[in-house]
A and B are shown apart, each in its own frame.
Chain A
Amino acid sequence: MALPYITSPTVTYLVWHTVYALLVIIVLMTICAYAVLAERKISSWIQNRVGPNRTILPILAYIPVLGPFVQRNGLSQPIADGLKFLFKESVTPKHVKKFYYILAPCLSLVPALTTCTVLPFGIWWNDQHAAQPLVLANLDVGLLFILAVSSLGVYGLVLAGWSSNSKYPFLGGIRASAQLISYELAMGVSILPVFLWSARPMAPLGSLEVGGPVSPLNLFDIVQSQEHLWLLFWQPVSALVFLVSVFAETNRLPFDMAESETDLVGGFHTEYGSFKFGFFFVAEYAHMLVGSAVFVVLFLGGWNFFPYIPDPWPHNVVGSVLSVLWFLAKVLSFVFLFIWIRWTIPRFRYDQVMKLGWNVLLPLAVANLFFYLILFAVFPNL
């Protein structure tokens, strides 16, 4: 007997896409949790100590070879951390503005997670052997969406600083808002040459409409345009300015003003306890992960193998899986770079941060843009 609702194409589409979205979210959150562990382990190796290596799960610890391996490498630490954040007593101080105090962590986490919906993380080939991205939403304006939504994360920080009604968070919120606004301009202007390249007259055809024009802001097309040479080598100044801006946008050292632990106790998250602090924590690492993924997509060629070396994987399911794994490898090495730089370079002073953003990066990005404009105008056949 036919069941019209269950087998209708709309329902199938919805179910599959829900499963797909859940998978992406699960993978993203797992990588975030393990990024916290990676930060602790890598920072401890840099400091000549051993990171977390004692956490045991009740039954897993007694499996002969696997148990001690998991324990010694601290692999069950994120689970312990997650449970701790969940079950700790959540104290709301009397002096905060309750509604905004509770709203701020959500405002911080939601944009960070939303930006991952337009990130392509792999490639698959459909029945006509045309390349299609593995992505949750192949938006025409993918990159604009990412820039816009990640700017919303500023509100979370500022609101946290303001609603906490106390000196240290206030200062942290103010510094964070000024810093984030300053570096967004440089970030936006520095990637315009990337669009000039991916939408050039000689570009291969776009992926959204068969035979249609390339949409320059579409992230998949940007990756496909880097099949031969990664943009990192071709536009190094853009890459450098964008890298510095991403460090500033995710509030990572050396641009740690918002939560500078040595100046401002906890910065904007001083007054936050268990689960709300967990939100901020995860939001920071999710932001970092999405920032590295965007850098990999824009400048490191996404899932393309190496410059001028064609992909060694076949154009089928195996190839898709391998492309996803290669993409993840690049993103994770970028996260390693974030962590490495955090534990190497001291923090900038507040006026140095402002000067760098407005006096150095913005003119450099604009000059870079003019250079590439003139270059593409003089040599239209690149």
Chain B
Amino acid sequence: MAKVIERKPLTFWERTYLPQILGGLRVTLVNMFRRAETLEYPEQRPTIPPGYRGAPTLVKDPEGREKCVSCQLCEFVCPPKAIRITPGEIPFDAPTAHVEKAPKEFEINMLRCIYCGLCEEVCPEEAIWLQDVYSIAGLTRASLVHDKKKLYELGGTRPDPYRKWDKKLAAEKAHAEGGHH
């Protein structure tokens, strides 16, 4: 059913548009005294939602071990080829010797990174995470290539409920002692 809207003809005063102008002025005046919605940037920062894709960082587990095993999956999946890894060996007498590999050098070129998050998705060790760092600036191109030290510094520590390496170590020990798997 079509609804017919009744349009009353304008009165004399309304046809001068003066009452409408005054009404508009009142609206604007009321708005002048409301608080501004502006976020004043360097003093106030925006709230970053969880899952925000900021700069990629490497994380350590709660025991302070580096989680990355330099499998190079992130390097191969990165669309602009921003990641460069040189894999290295873990010495035989280290406590994490069963992991066998750790990165000797790990560089992410932030000038190439597109913050897509594919490296985070593909990492089997959950070692690379895109966290909430969003304002990165530098004075030279070299300073914007984040090396391993900078990446771990930005990354911090993440809680790890799975304890994959400890479980593997425990399983190998149990196997060596002849227990069933």
Could you list which residues of chain A lie within 8 angstroms of chain B, going by C-beta atoms? Answer: 42, 44-50, 53, 340-341, 343-345
Contacts and interface: CB of A to CB of B under 8 A. Distances in A.
Interface in B1-48: 21, 24-25, 27-29, 31-38, 40
Contact of A340 (B28, B33, B36): B28
A50 B36 CA distance: 6
B151 to A, nearest CB: 33
A154 to B, nearest CB: 26
A344 B27 CA distance: 8
A53 B42 CA distance: 13
Contact of B28 (A49, A50, A343): A343
A50 B8 CA distance: 40
Given A344-B21, A345-B21, A46 B36 contact: no
Contacts of A50: 36, 38, 40
A45 B36 contact: yes
A48 B29 contact: no
Given A49-B36, A49-B37, 12 more contacts: A44-B36, A46-B28, A46-B31, A46-B32, A48-B31, A48-B34, A50-B40, A340-B28, A341-B25, A344-B24, A344-B27, A345-B21
Nearest to B18: A240
Nearest to B34: A48
A341 to B, nearest CB: 7
Contacts of B21: 341, 344-345
A47 B34 CA distance: 10
Tier of interface size on chain B: 10 to 19
A49 B40 CA distance: 10
B25 A344 contact: yes
B36 A48 contact: yes
A74 to B, nearest CB: 13
Contacts of B34: 48
Contacts of A53: 40
Contacts of B35: 48
A345 B28 CA distance: 10
Nearest to A346: B24
Contacts of A46: 28, 31-32
23 contacts: A42-B32, A44-B36, A45-B31, A45-B32, A45-B33, A46-B28, A46-B31, A46-B32, A48-B31, A48-B34, A48-B36, A48-B37, A49-B36, A49-B37, A49-B38, A50-B36, A50-B38, A53-B40, A340-B25, A344-B21, A344-B25, A344-B27, A345-B24
Nearest to A341: B25
Contacts of A45: 31-33, 36
Interface string B131-146: 0000000000000000
A354 B37 CA distance: 39
Nearest to A343: B28
Nearest to A54: B40
B15 to A, nearest CB: 10
A41 to B, nearest CB: 10
B18 to A, nearest CB: 8
Nearest to B31: A46
User: Which of B21, B24, B28, B33 has the most A CB atoms < 10 Å from its CB?
Assistant: B28
B46 to A, nearest CB: 16
B24 to A, nearest CB: 5
Contacts of A47: 31
Contacts of B31: 45-48
Interface in B38-62: 38, 40
**Closest 5 pairs between A and B when the two form their complex, measured CB to CB:** A45-B32, A344-B28, A344-B24, A50-B38, A50-B36
Interface in B149-172: none
Contacts of A345: 21, 24
B38 A340 contact: no
Contacts of A340: 25, 28-29
